[in-house]
Amino acid sequence: MSFPDVALGAILRRVERFEARDDLVEYTFAGTYSFGRGIFVGERKLGAAFRLPKIQRLLTDDFVYCKIMAWEGAFGVVQSEANDCVVSAAFVVYQIDRARVDPRYLRARVTIT
């Protein structure tokens, strides 16, 4: 079975789930591997231990890329292990249009060209 190529902009909608950092809350950070290898769960940090004024929350099946490392394909689809993790404002987060594409398919098929 063959599927047509579509631009990511046709199946993604930008979301912003920013929240103010709370010094007394412990956050689990996520990040993106380079070369389209996906999302990883990083370290846990107490809000008082970092200076970011705001953080952004991720949800399962979000599509995420890092603006700083976009040139080397630092993007991926959030898997359940990274649900509710946070990232800095250096990351751009999108919801996938599930009516047009299954996030599992996108996770397996998105490549750098």
Asked, for residue 96, whether it belongs to a domain, the answer is: yes
- Helix (H) and strand (E) counts in the chain: 1, 9
Supply the pTM of this predicted model.
Answer: 0.87
Average pLDDT, the chain: 91
List of residues 6+ apart from 32 with CB closer than 8 A: 38, 39, 40, 64, 65, 66, 69, 74, 75, 76, 91
Whose tokens are 């594409």? That residue is 101
Asked, for residue 42, whether it belongs to a domain, the answer is: yes
Higher pLDDT, 23 or 38: 23
Average pLDDT over residues 71-88: 93
pLDDT beyond 70 at 112: no
Asked, for residue 3, whether it belongs to a domain, the answer is: no
Q: What is the pLDDT at residue 61?
A: 95
Domain count along the chain: 1
Range of the domain at 47: 10-100
